[in-house]
Amino acid sequence: MAGRTRTTKKLAQRIDLNYFKKLRGIPRWRRILSAVFTLAGLAWLGWHALAGSPKPYNAGPVARSHALFGEKCSACHVSQARFQHTATDQACLACHDGPIHHAEQTFTPSCASCHVEHKGVLRLAATSDEACTQCHASLNENDKNTPPKFASNIRGFDRSHPELTALRNGAKDPGTIKFNHQVHLDPKKPIRGPNGPVQLQCSDCHRSYGLSGLWPFALNAGSAATELPSLPARAYMQPVNYEKHCAACHPLDFDRRFKEPAPHKEPKVVYDFVVQKLASYIAAHPAEIPLVDEPDKRLPTRPPQRPARNAQEWVEQRLADAQLLLWRKSCKECHTPAYPQGYDALPEIPKAAVPARWMQHASFDHDAHQLVACTACHTKTLNSKETSDVLIPSIQTCRDCHHSAANAAEARCFECHSYHDWSKEKPPAGKFTIRQLTE
Amino acid sequence: MSDVHLTIDGTAVTVPAGTTIFDAARMNGIAIPTLCHQQNETPVGVCRVCVVDAGGRVLSAACVRPAEEKMVVSTNSEKVVRARRTLVELLMADHPSPCARQRQSNDCELETLARLEGITQARFPRRLSPRGQDNSSLVIAVDHEACILCDRCIRGCDEIRHNDVLGRRGKGFMAGIAFDYNLPMGNSSCVSCGECMVSCPTGALTNKSIVKTVLPGEPVDVDDLQQLAYFQKVSGTFLELNKNAVVRRHFKKGEIICREGEYGSTAFYILEGQAQVFLSTPLAHVQSKGGAAGFFSRLSSRLVGRQQERRQDEGSRATIPIDASVDLPYDNPIATLGPGDLFGEMTCMNLYPRSATVRAATDCVMLEMLRNVLDIIQRNKTLKAQLEANYRKRALDDHLRSVPMFASLTQDFIDVLRSKVELVRYTKGDVICRQGDIADAFYLVRLGFVRVSEPHPGGELVLAYLGRGSYFGEIGLLNGEGRRTATCTALDHVELVRIHAEEFHQMTEQFPDVRRSLEELAYERQTQNRQRLATATSTPLDQFLTQGLMEAQSLLVLDLERCTRCDACVRACADAHDGITRLVREGQRFDKYLVATSCRHCRDPLCMIGCPVGSIRRRNSLEVIIENWCIGCGLCAKNCPYGNINLHPFNVLEDDPANPGRQVAVVKQKATSCDLCTDHAEPSCVYACPHDAAHRVEPNEFFRWIGAPLETEARTHSR
Amino acid sequence: MRIDRTHRSWEVATLVLAVVSTVAYIAYAVRSPAGPRGGSALGLTFGIAGYAMMLYAGLLGARKKVPTWRIGRAQTWMRGHIWLGSLSLLLILFHGGFAFRGPLTAVLMILFFIVILSGWTGALIQHFVPSLMTTRVPMETIYEEIPHVRAQLCQEADKLVATVCGPIGSEEAAAEEFGGAVTTLVEIEQEDRARFRDIYLRKLRPYLSDPDSEHAELADLNRTSEVFDSLRRLLAAPVHPVLDDLENICEEEQQLSRQIRVYRWLHSWLLVHVPLSIALLVLGGLHAIMALRY
């Protein structure tokens, strides 16, 4: 490095003092690219703005059922003030009805706060538990009734959710029919059927609606099972009915002369029927007026019968026997007749009062549970001897499958409960024309 | 007187009594060769070349021997001729042939004589010890080798010109001519009249031709020149020789005679007419737009005056010192010069740039001269007296008043002072006073630069550079000891106003305010000096020294391990200083730091030397700042060894000389340097660095911590 | 900016804010019926806070344009930029509920991630590359002035060579114009002079006038010393000082090429970070307006 020296002055004097005022190289490109990217973004948005479409601001795909008009933002995002285009409750109510839940609730959440759109869900009604627990977790604050009528601190389908009403506090089955499930279902002691011993299945008496097939123990053997009620098909069990489920094994025989059993109706009707039957018989067979019948083995002892003098007497004698058989034996097997006007009058049979639906505030679909054996949930049935036993399963049984886990059954509130009181539903009145939807 | 009759070479002559043989021969057409005899001088008879045979035992020197009655003189007998030849040969043996005169004008008398005598080669060896040359004078070159000790110069200086500068010194072969007490000719009291040079027969004293080029202008007749008072005592031959170094210039009213900032080498003397002296560079700082604002506008510069933008670093100077007998008042920097005024001395003598613009207010006639002629004038006693009188009359008042503490002096006192002060001059390197000397005077600097320094291990420590308008010497007078506390040296041609101790003490007694201010100033200066001495005592590292970091009081260092080379510091500096950056992100490295090119506020501020208008000054012993009357000559930028001062151009509209009445944009310049952003808490560059990489540090303290974690240190040590 | 002990207070503050926000978010996300949404009260808070931090980070560029305004030291702004900018990542993720949702918000999220990642990359670069530049380029100069400096180096080389073989290149033309320049020539043989001139014009000058060209054999340091060693063997001793100086010039050229490369490493990330951040801020603002509208 013979002659070359580096001094501060020499180095500094190589530099043009205005070099930093012009942008060159990377800073220049930085500036250019800033403009380019920003303008590109604005151009994209501007393009859509000019086309009048707010598509870039779409927060996500709409629910499956709304897919038809999902791209037509103005279907729901209607202009309120000049600027505001929020989708309000009015937008939902234009097509749907959302009847109020309870008159006593302190605030009504908006549709969108529970039914969250723009998440591409399959089922918009599948709300999160928080939609419900926002009130029900502290119901005493959110209910105008004090104290609230329902449990106050429900946080989900966990221990905070109370037991089913029917099973709470030693509640009993209000049904008046005396029935012993254990005897009927005991596998070790088959019961006597019309054609020999039978082993009953649950479905011989309990079936949901909409199923085809014949009732095996019906009055007219094999009457069809189906009947469409107003309740959702296949969800609920059809009510137990004498003609369909009991008649075959528990016929209302009243006299050995008649095969036809008495109708399963009010005592007055049965009385009139028996009288009419006896009268018509003795009228057809007057020769048998003086004949004496052997006492029925099923009846309690009675004084021996005197031969009847006339038809009327004959009928009266046989009528007494029949009444004895019926009121004191057959009916009494299942019912508990009462004699408010004395034993000589006709008994009064209390109403059966078998609950058709056990859960008033929740729905249950047996069809959805067809994979489970009846006794897997209704565990107490096989051992139930008393009518008063409530045989619907406890909520714990539900929780065995329905709990919060990925491989468990749906345990969110909406699965059983409905927020909207559909009994107050108004008839639907959609607002769109086909043209509007398909343009 | 009675006549004398004698015979010379066989011819009878009659001459008045008392005539020398030489004159007698000359009157009768007989030429006797001489060397030491000059007609207008008293003959001394030292060379013996004029010896003649007058019948005596020995040969007689014709120039001193008076003719006697009945003398028989032979001027060319064999004996005489032999003697003469031998003498010439002896002289030629030591003569540096061809000597300067022979080369210049072919008329060295000795060599001419030798040629006539037919001497080509001396038989004798040359003397061994050289006698040397003396080039200190600006106008006359002294070559002692060629001196034949003929004494003509001494007689010319004494008898003809009565300057009494030359004399003899030494004995034997050490003998020679000397100026004053054997001073170099340029430092002596020689007035450069040129008489000695004209008298010298050989090339011992010859005319120095400084420039070969001729000054443009009307050449002045020697006679005309000699009409002027201060050329009267100058040898006509000398003036003739230097004819081209002085010219008469005629200027029309309105013509520009010289422009500020230009480099020149001449001085002007006004013969007739009036001239206006002013600063044409506006008294303002330059403002230049760049960066963001400059993105959309041209990079143009404009000026912002003091009224528009008061800056904290500006002083409140009342006058601007320039290179003339007056100073310019700040608020209206215009003055008038008239006949008898001399301006441009500093430019001519020291080659500094012109300090102001001079324009002819009326039609003018001036003399423009080069350094040699100015030197003659300056040494001329008459002119010196005249110039001093001028100065006393016109500028001394202002000068004294420009010293802030003398502002309260009464006019009477100033009048008294005016007559009592002494104007002294020094040349480059002269020591005006030494540390420890008895303090006997107070000095004002009228012209040139003075270095105030203290001896220090390793050399002198410069305490200050004082230019025109500054003053010194008060500390010695005011402190109890009465001795000088520092050494003051003249850096170039310096002229001082000396106020003697008596007047000084009288002043301080009569005006206690003045004394108080002086004492305050003295105290301040002493404190600063002590500080500087204290910081100068730490031991430097090698590289420290080689890069000159030792000199710095404040460095801008960039930590290169944090610096992302983003130029935020440079932009901030430009932003804070009207678009002109005073910092360049380039320089040498020290350890992991880049020592950026930005004013180091050196202890020895070399930049301050030579400013023609004194606009670069130091404030509070730290920052070096440039005032707004800078004329952009660029001397400070040239002087700064680190390139920390830059000149920034800007456009000014001026009258177009080619098209009168129209204006044309002319590019001017102003000098800028880092001023440490003292109107803020910290310098803008440090403030604006996003990566904490820029620091303003005191180098000794800062670099003592090399090796230690520097993040925290940098913050505690930065200014 | 290097992250060191002086950042301690910023780190702590950021951590505290992050923890507080996380706790708030978790509490909110678990409780809200609609799930975490940007439009709910807390979601908006997160959005506004996040956007404010993004704006502050973006304003660093503006701050650098007015470096002398006393609105806080540049280092404070830089620290804020780094820490608040990083925190804004968390807040915006909370604001969006960790989902991309629609087109505009998806674009914003992507831009945001790129900006944050490029910023972190840049911060990382700034811990290592400046030292790299310092150690590997001792003869560093100002990047923007490199072409200017290179031109001066070329001229210097020409002048050096002119002392051996007379005016070269631009000097040649100048010399012709002024009728012969006055240069003191090194004392060597005429044929050596011619040889040196030839070598210079063939090998060295092309490199000096265009050091970044593809085929410059002198671009490699090892190669250079080989070349110059062979030149020293070839040419007479009086020329060696000139050769030494030329070698030094070549070394400086190589260092400048290296400087260009390292400079690109140091600054290229900004080409991603800055433009996208500006686009992000503009589109983000539009998103805020439009989301409130709908």
Residue A74 lies in a domain: no
Is the Cα torsion angle B471, B472, B475, B478 positive or negative in sign? negative
Per residue in A280-315, pLDDT (tens digit) is 988 888 888 888 877 777 776 777 778 888 888 888
How near does any CA of chain A get to the CA of C105, in Å? 8
Q: Which residues of B touch C73 (CB under 8 A)?
A: 687
Q: Which domains does chain B have, with CATH numbers?
A: 3-117 (3.10.20.740), 133-218 (3.30.70.20), 229-395 (2.60.120.10), 403-535 (2.60.120.10), 542-717 (no CATH)
Question: What is the C-alpha to C-alpha distance for residues B567 and B563, in angstroms, rounded to an integer?
Answer: 9
Integer Cα distance of A375 and A380 in angstroms: 8
Inform me whether the pLDDT recorded for B291 exceeds 50. Answer: no
> Could you tell me whether strands B431-433 and B487-490 are parallel, antiparallel, or unpaired per DSSP bridges?
antiparallel
Of the listed ranges A269-278, A343-352, B710-719, the one predicted with least confidence: B710-719
Q: Quick one: what percent of chain B has pLDDT higher than 90?
A: 21
pLDDT at A316 over 80: yes
Query: CB distance from B640 to chain A under 8 Å?
Result: yes
Q: Is the pLDDT of residue A341 over 80?
A: yes
Residue B60 has pLDDT above 50, yes or no: yes
Residues of A in contact with B588 (CB under 8 A): 6-8, 11
pLDDT at C111 over 90: yes
Closest CA to B324 of B354, B362, B351, B359: B354
Q: Give the model's pLDDT for residue B436.
A: 86
pLDDT (mean) for B584-597: 88
Q: Are B47 and B201 in contact (CB under 8 A)?
A: no
Neighbours of chain B (3+ CB pairs under 8 A): A, C
Which positions in chain B touch C60 (Cβ < 8 Å)?
690
Sign for the pseudo-dihedral over CA of A237, A238, A239, A244: negative
Instruction: Give the Cα-Cα-Cα angle B154, B160, B166 (nearest 5 degrees).
Output: 25
Structural domain contains residue A119: no
Does the bond joining B98 to the residue before it have cis omega, within 30 degrees of 0? Answer: yes
Q: Do B570 and A12 touch (CB under 8 A)?
A: no
B210 or B414, greater pLDDT:
B414
Residue B463 touches chain A, beta carbons under 8 Å: no
Nearest CA in chain C to B564: C130
Distance (Å) from the alpha carbon of B340 to chain C's nearest alpha carbon? 45
Last residue of a domain, one of A278, A300, A334: A334
Tell me if chain A has a CB within 8 Å of the CB of C249. Answer: yes
Percent of chain C whose pLDDT exceeds 90: 49
- Interstrand relation of B471-472 and B441-447 (parallel, antiparallel or unpaired): antiparallel
The amino acid at B16: P
- Residues A376-383 have a mean pLDDT of 90
Domain residues for the domain of A38 are 20-57
CB pairs under 8 A between B and C: 81
Judged by a CB distance cut-off of 8 A, whether residue A21 touches chain C is no
- The whole-angstrom distance between C265's CA and the closest CA on chain B is 11
Distance from CA of C292 to the nearest CA of A (A): 8
Residue A432 domain flag: no
| Separation CA B646–CA B288 (nearest Å) | 14
Q: How confident is the model at residue B303 (pLDDT cuts 50, 70, 90)?
A: low
> Which residues in chain C have Cβ-Cβ distances shorter than 8 Å to A404?
none
Residue A400 lies in a domain: no
Mean pLDDT of B347-366: 84
pLDDT tens digit sequence for B110-125: 999 999 988 888 888 8
Helix, strand, coil percentages, rounded to 5, for chain B: 30, 25, 45
Does A159 map to a domain?
no
What does the pLDDT read at residue B667?
Answer: 77
Is A214 part of a structural domain of the chain? yes
Which one of A60, A84, A134 has the shortest CB-CB distance to C102?
A: A60
Minimal Cα–Cα distance from C78 to chain B, Å?
Answer: 6
Q: What is the mean pLDDT of chain A?
A: 84
Give the Cα separation of B117 and B206 in Å (integer): 24
Asked if C106 has any chain A CB less than 8 Å from its own CB, the reply is no
Q: What is the pLDDT of residues C236-272, one digit of tens each?
A: 787 888 888 988 999 899 999 999 999 999 999 999 9
Residue to test with chain C: of B567, B691, B710, B715, most C Cβ within 10 A: B691
How much of chain A is in helix, strand and coil states, percent to nearest 5? 35, 5, 60
B581 part of contact set with chain A, CB < 8 Å = yes
Q: Does B580 touch chain A (CB under 8 A)?
A: yes
Q: Which of A4, A5, A6, A9 to mutate to test the interface with B (most CBs of B within 10 A)?
A: A9
Q: pLDDT at residue B71 above 70?
A: yes
* SS3 call for A114: helix
Q: How many domains does chain A have?
A: 2
Does residue A154 lie within any of the structural domains? no
Residues A327, A339: contact at Cβ < 8 Å? no
Query: What letters, b where the CB count within 10 A reaches 16 and e where it falls short, cover B688-702?
Result: bbbbbbbbbbbbbeb
Q: Residues with Cβ < 8 Å from B545, sequence gap 6 or more?
A: none
Residue in A220, A242, A230 with CA at minimum distance from that of residue A357: A230
Average pLDDT for residues C138-163, to the nearest whole number?
90
- Chains touching A, CB cut-off 8 Å, 3+ pairs: B, C
Nearest chain B residue to C4 by CA: give it: B711
pLDDT digits 0-9 by tens, B459-509: 666 777 887 778 888 878 877 677 888 899 988 778 888 888 888 888 778
A chain contacts of residue C271, beta-carbon cutoff 8 Å: 26, 29-30, 33
Which of the four pLDDT bands, split at 50, 70 and 90, describes residue B704? low
Cβ distance B563 to C130 less than 8 Å, yes or no, reads yes
Does a structural domain hold residue A406?
A: no
Phi/psi at B670 (5° precision): -135, 150
Across the interface, whether the CB atoms of A37 and C278 are under 8 A apart is answered: yes
Higher pLDDT, residue B286 or C38: C38
Which residue from B minimizes the CA distance to C130?
B561
C251 within 8 A of C224, measured Cβ to Cβ? yes
Per-residue model confidence (pLDDT) at position A234: 67
pLDDT digits (tens, 9 = 90+) for B308-349: 454 444 455 667 777 777 777 777 778 888 887 888 887 777
Residue B605 neighbours by CB under 8 Å, 6+ apart? B462, B465, B618, B624
Give B591 or B87, the one with higher predicted confidence.
Answer: B87
Token reading at C285: 């603002």
The three-state DSSP-derived secondary structure of C64-75 is: HHCCCCCCCCHH
**Interface test with chain C among A45, A84, A86, A111, by most C beta carbons within 10 Å:** A45
**Lowest-confidence region among B353-367, C140-154, C260-274:** B353-367
Percent over 70 (pLDDT), chain B:
83
Cα end-to-end span (Å), chain C: 41
Task: Give A-chain residues touching C279 at CB under 8 angstroms.
Answer: 34, 37-38, 40-41
Q: Delimit the domains of chain C by residue range.
A: 5-130+269-293, 143-266
Q: What is the pLDDT of residue B209?
A: 65
Higher pLDDT, B209 or B177: B177
Supply the pLDDT for residue A4. Answer: 81
Q: Does the structure show a pLDDT above 60 at A134?
A: yes
Interchain pair B586, A10: CB under 8 A: no
Of A6, A10, A12, the CB nearest to B584: A12
The whole-number pLDDT of residue A1 equals 42
- Of A318, A334, A350, at which residue does a domain stop? A334
Report the residue from A10, A13, A18 with minimal CB separation from B299: A18
- CB of A249 closer than 8 Å to CB of A333: no
pLDDT for B314: 47
Other Cβ atoms within 10 Å of B603 Cβ, number: 17
**Confidence class of residue B457 from pLDDT cuts 50, 70 and 90?**
low
Average pLDDT score over residue span B156-178: 89
Q: Choose from B174-178, B308-312, C36-40 the range with maximum mean pLDDT.
A: B174-178
